[in-house]
A and B are shown apart, each in its own frame.
Chain A
Amino acid sequence: MDFWPTIYVFVLATFIGLGVIRRVSRLLHTPLMSLTNAISAIAVVGAILVAGGDYPLRIRVLGAIALFASTTNIVSGFLITDRMLRMFKTDKPSGGAA
């Protein structure tokens, strides 16, 4: 197999990652972590292929557990990131400083 293209993708994606992440507001480092966590749960793709393929049972069990773990990360990761981000406001809601 020619693996060089995948190495290219990895190196370029790392550079994009470093460039983009460096600009993330320091205020948002906690939500950033939960967001990247949800995004890297894209390992779900591998889990689906293993769990749903026509393979021996023990293989599919491993895939199903991995699928469960990834889905948990996707669901809780995106939800909690949004929940945290909703809290960041510029001004207090009405009446705060009456």
Chain B
Amino acid sequence: MMYGVSQFGYLVASALFIFALHWMNAPTTARKGVYAGGWGTAIAILVTWAEPSVIHHLWIILPIVAGFVVGVPLSRVPLTAVPQRTALSHAFGGAAAGLVGTAEYYLRLSEGVEFLTPFRMVALIAEIILGYLTLTGSLMAAGKLQEIKWVPQRPVTYPGQNVINLLLALTAIVLAGAVAMNPAAPWAPAAFAVIIALALLFGVLLIIPIGGADMPTVIAILNSYAGLSAVAMGFVLDNKLLITAGALDGSSGLILAIIMCKAMNRSFTNVLFGAFGQVQQAKAGAEERVYKSETPEGAAQALEQASSVVIIPGYGMAVAQAQHKVRELYDQLKKRGITVKFAIHPVAGRMPGHMNVLLAEADIPYTDLVEMDEINPDMPQVDVALVVGANDVVNPAARTDKSSPIYGMPIIDADKARSVFAIKRSKNPGFAGIDNELYFSDRTWMLFGDAKNVIGELVKQFAGPGMH
């Protein structure tokens, strides 16, 4: 009887999860998706809690209360910190899977070794490897994104890096095979612990060679791993809800990672093992070239005379928290009857969709946020392209320069606009460390400074008495 009730509950929860994701296909229905997901989770928790085997209720209430105490503030972080929060939550998800897997193994070892069939052991070891790897990998990613001091920002590479990683992975796989076949052997618990240590280490090693520009892909991959570790847990516990929910999460991470890779014209293996940031030295030593600088006054005049303006935001906008100032500029331009659109590159920012959320926060209607492929055909008719803290995603070298590390990456064709104003924090190259051809074009004028200050200056020009 109880079995039927809980299975029915799980089935309903699975259906709700699928609806939740389905409703994410449009901003108008998306919030319904959150409620569907919330109800699904609540039902699953209640029917599980009602299982007769669950008897220590305080052991459930206290962690749940603690989860609320930490979870509520974590949901109120500023939106610029959303990439870090996301990485952190992948770490939590990985930790949960790893810990449950560890508990299951040592529990069954002492009471009920017959539970540990080879299939369950393979799933269990997959669960802990993915779980612990996601834990440390995501913590590293979160540390990089938060720019914590002792976490290296630049990619860390050393000779033989991939060989060492490969050897570690092989060791883990061999140990895993041995433990899966002999889960109750006297040496097995120790080997199991070694696998855990290797997975924790592997997570760190996998992330240190990865640069900031690759973070969107890496976060998506970690998302996928966290989902797959839940699937593995579902195999161990023979729980189809866990398998379904984990598979949904896993495929979501996979699709996002594929989109990110396509948007950078790179492969998974290249992101994970390529250490992008290291390629930059290729063009050092080229002759010094000069930028044309422009004052906010001049830029404001050009903007006022334009009839269509495209704003191209990048990570620099997020760093400077400039989205609200951008909104003020947007209002000023709209007020003068100028068409304003935002061109969003899939990998702009540090996670998929990062720019959209920041601009939505600043109350910019999402109907004015246009995808790269949609806006590019219109770029030659655009009077002013305003680049706000974006760099590689507008670098024309991606189209023309075969020696460039970003060659082949689809870009927003800012250089085709009639004029370009680029706001940039400093004269240094961007995160990927590549010189940007766009800045030297004769149609481009640079506005050096913090994005928030520069846009603020522009807005002042419009709001001031001088211009009407």
Q: List residues of A whose CB falls within 8 A of some B CB.
A: 1, 3, 5-6, 9-10, 13-14, 16-18, 20-56, 58-60, 62-93, 96-97
Contact = CB atoms under 8 A, between A and B. Distances in A.
Interface residues of B, number: 119
Contacts of A86: 31
A63 B99 contact: yes
Nearest to A27: B356
B445 to A, nearest CB: 28
A1 B86 CA distance: 37
Contacts of B192: none
B255 A21 contact: yes
Contact of A40 (B62, B226, B369): B226
Contacts of A34: 82, 85-86, 89
A41 B361 CA distance: 26
A27 B353 contact: yes
Contacts, number: 383
Contacts of A82: 31, 34
Contact of B248 (A13, A30, A85): A13
Contacts of B51: 49
Among A37, A47, A75, A88, which residue has the most Cβ atoms of chain B within 10 A?
A88
Contacts of B44: 42, 44-45
Chain A contact residues: over half helix, strand or loop, or mixed? helix
A86 B110 CA distance: 50
Given A17-B21, A87-B361, A97-B335, A39 B245 contact: yes
The 10 closest A-B pairs by CB, nearest first: A71-B67, A75-B71, A29-B353, A17-B251, A79-B75, A40-B249, A52-B54, A30-B353, A13-B247, A29-B352
A52 B62 CA distance: 11
A35 B33 contact: yes
B85 to A, nearest CB: 7
Contacts of A21: 21, 248, 251-252, 255-256
A53 B53 contact: yes
A35 to B, nearest CB: 6
Contacts of B240: 5-6, 9
Interface in B27-71: 27, 30-31, 33-34, 37-38, 40-41, 44-45, 48-49, 51, 53-57, 59-60, 62-64, 66-68, 70-71
Contact of B37 (A35, A44, A80, A89): A35
B56 A54 contact: yes
Given A23-B25, A49-B237, A90-B365, A37 B67 contact: no
B74 A52 contact: no
Nearest to B31: A85
B244 interface: yes
Contact of A10 (B60, B231, B237): B231
A78 B110 CA distance: 38
Contact of A73 (B93, B234, B242): B93
Contact of A17 (B242, B248, B365): B248
A93 B24 contact: no
A63 B252 contact: no
Nearest to A82: B34
Contacts of A93: 363
B17 interface: yes
17 contacts: A6-B234, A14-B251, A16-B18, A20-B21, A27-B27, A28-B353, A30-B86, A37-B226, A39-B249, A45-B242, A52-B54, A71-B67, A74-B41, A76-B71, A78-B37, A83-B75, A85-B27
Contacts of B102: 62
A68 B66 contact: yes
A28 B24 contact: yes
A89 B457 CA distance: 27
Contacts of B226: 37, 40
A47 B248 contact: no
Contact of A49 (B38, B53, B67, B74): B53
Contacts of A49: 48, 51, 53-54, 237
Given A20-B18, A35-B37, A60-B56, A73 B103 contact: no
A88 B366 CA distance: 6
